[in-house]
Structures are given as structure tokens and as C-alpha cells.
Amino acid sequence: MPLIKKIFRETCLKKLRYSTKHNKIYKDYLVNKKLMDELKNTKGKNILFYYPMANEVNILKVLKKLRQTNNILLPFMVGKSFKVVPYRLPIYASRFGIFEAKNSIKKIQNIDIAIVPVVGIDSNLQRVGFGKGMYDRFFSRLKKKPYTIFIQPELCFSKEKVCDDYDVNCDLMLTSKVKIVARK
């Protein structure tokens, strides 16, 4: 299984590299519009966002808009996983090149919605990420699973099950062209 997942990840990363060069601003706009439609009635919620890297969907417009009415959280890298911290300016680049807010002693107990970047998904709507397992470790520590939205610039989907049982799965998958809702 790991070999298939590794090959699938490499295929998806190649697709993402090409995708970032072609129509990225327009695709980001389409994903932002879909995401905002999904989140527009989420007043008073704790929402975990990601701060986008170059090959991920830039969702900063939605983050800044929802910041007015919601508690926005960002990952803060700690060891082989992360903890969540409130979104505060200024944002700094970590040693991995990932932008994050400064560390906080505030304990965040509840996350209502998690917006997670993905490289690809399999037939079970499980996440194939960049290969470090940070989101998997983080989600395994949560007492209550948040409503999880996966974000991709372009769909990279495997009809086969390539993920492991511990890989995070989603409730909703959004790309510039596709919206997939998980069956309950």
C-alpha cells in the first residue's frame, strides 16, 4: 500500500506543479467563492485554516473575511505535528518555509471546521498530503472530529484505496471545478 500511495503522491505533485503555472489566480478565485458559500453562515465558530504555500489554493481572502465574525486558527509546527494558535499578525516563515502566527499559550479545545490542503484523495475521500503526516497526527489527538473541508487547486483522485486507515478523511472536497460531498 505505501508504494502505491507514494507513486500517487508523486503523480499529484507533478499535476500541481503544472497547475500552479496555468490560470492559478482564476482557479483560486473559483475555490474561494465555493468555500465562502459553504462557510458564510458560520458565525461564532472556531475555524482552522492553513496559510497557503505557492502550490496550494490561496484562501487568504476567505480567511480575512471570516476573521471579522469567527475565531480563525492556524497550525503552529511542533515536532512532527502541530498545535493550533489564533491567527494574529505578523505572520512569520517557519524553518520549513511554512507561514504561521507566533506561538501562543492559549489552549484551543474545540475546532468546529478544519480547512485542509491536500495533494490528492482516494476513493474513501482520505487525504494524501505532502508525506510528513502532520495533519494525521494532529487529527488523531482531537476528542471531536471537526467538519473537514479539503481544498485542492485541481482534482487529483484515485479510484482505488491508496490511503492508510489513520489518514484524515473529509466531509467536503472543493476544487476549482469539483465539489464532492461525503456520504454519511
Residues 6+ apart with CB under 8 A from 1: 162, 164
Instruction: Please compute the mean of the pLDDT values over residues 142-171 and round it to a whole number.
Output: 88
**Confidence band of 175 (pLDDT split at 50, 70, 90):** very high
Fold for the domain defined by 2-181: Rossmann fold (3.40.50)
Residues 6+ apart with CB under 8 A from 19: 27, 55, 153, 154
Q: What distance in Å separates the CA atoms of residue 116 and residue 12, rounded to the nearest whole number?
A: 16
Residues 6+ apart with CB under 8 A from 105: none
Q: What distance in Å separates the CA atoms of residue 160 and residue 103, rounded to the nearest whole number?
A: 39
Instruction: Please compute the mean of the pLDDT values over residues 153-170 and round it to a whole number.
Output: 86
> For the chain, which residues make up each domain, given as ranges?
2-181
Closest CA to 31 of 183, 129, 172: 172
Residue scoring higher pLDDT (121 or 97): 121
Q: Structure pTM?
A: 0.88
The residue type at 136: D
The residue type at 31: V
Strand positions, DSSP E, 36-134: 46-48, 71-78, 81-86, 92-93, 99-100, 113-117, 120-121, 127-128
pLDDT recorded at residue 1: 46
The residue type at 166: Y
Instruction: Please compute the mean of the pLDDT values over residues 105-117 and round it to a whole number.
Output: 84
Instruction: Please compute the mean of the pLDDT values over residues 42-56 and round it to a whole number.
Output: 84
pLDDT recorded at residue 94: 74
What are the helix (H) ranges across 40-82?
A: 60-66
pLDDT recorded at residue 98: 75
Instruction: Please compute the mean of the pLDDT values over residues 152-167 and round it to a whole number.
Output: 86
With vertex at residue 154, the alpha carbon angle to CA 6 and CA 164, rounded to the nearest 5 degrees, is 30
